[in-house]
Structure 1
Amino acid sequence: MHQRLDEIQQLLDTLGKSHPDEVGAFVNFMGKAEAGPALSLKQKELVNVALSVAAQCEWCIALHVKNALNAGASRDELVEAGFLAVLMHGGPALMYLTPLLDAVNEFSTGATPN
């Protein structure tokens, strides 16, 4: 899963050089969308984890599981968020709990989950 995080950074670096306006707009939008005060950072990242599983995006799963752990999410909270994605997305989302568990296991070292 660390490789997925590296691939995200490589993609943003590459596209940032060739398409700086588009990448900049996306990064700006992401910052604005995540800046609202109603949800805690942990809650936002748990939502992002569920959406990542439903969207079947291994890169997103890696990024948001790591961020959720860093924000204090527990393994149980992450798996529960994954099951909510399965509820809404069905069997294909269930299979994407595999990279979710891989990310939780890989990134849990050094994290401080609740």
Structure 2
Amino acid sequence: MTDTNTYINQLAQTRKDLEAFDPEAWNAFSALVQTTSKGGALPAKVKEIIMVALGVADHCQFCIAIHTKRAIEAGASRQEIMEGAMMAIAMGGGPSMAFMRYVVDACNEFGAE
């Protein structure tokens, strides 16, 4: 089983390092993420599920960990997260299927029901 909290902790440290290195670039990136992630025509939980699928398609354990956690916090169920993430397999084939391991582990670790 993957320790998805480790990915979240590493990502938090990377954020601090990048923010210290170039605060202007970090703030611009952060504003973009916050703006595009908030609810609108698509609820925030749907956007987070999309981000999980994009993390699977791009083979990014960090993205899978943080966006699975945020999807759960936004009210997404395990079924919704898994179905959304499985969409990446249609586009990414076997490698994306293998990265579903991280989605399963994140759902388990963060208590998706």
Q: What is the aligned partner in structure 1 of residue 34 from structure 2? A: 31
Q: Which residue of 2 aligns with 1:83?
A: 86
Unaligned runs of 5+ residues in structure 2 are: none
Calculate the aligned-residue CA RMSD, in Å: 1.2
Can you list the C-alpha shifts for 1:39-80, whole angstroms capped at 9, x where unaligned? Answer: 111111111111111011000000000011111111111111
Question: Match of 2:105, SS?
Answer: helix
Aligned pairs, number: 110
Whole-Å Cα distance in 1 between the matches of residues 74 and 39 of structure 2?
16
Query: Counterpart of 2:46?
Result: 43
Runs of 4+ in 1 over 6 A off after TM superposition: none
Q: TM-score normalised to the size of structure 2?
A: 0.91
Pairwise CA distance, 1:81 = 1.2
Kindly report which structure 2 residues correspond to 1:1-114, keeping only aligned pairs within 5 A, or say none.
1-35=4-38, 37-108=40-111, 113=113
Quick one: which amino acid aligns to residue 16 of structure 1?
Answer: E
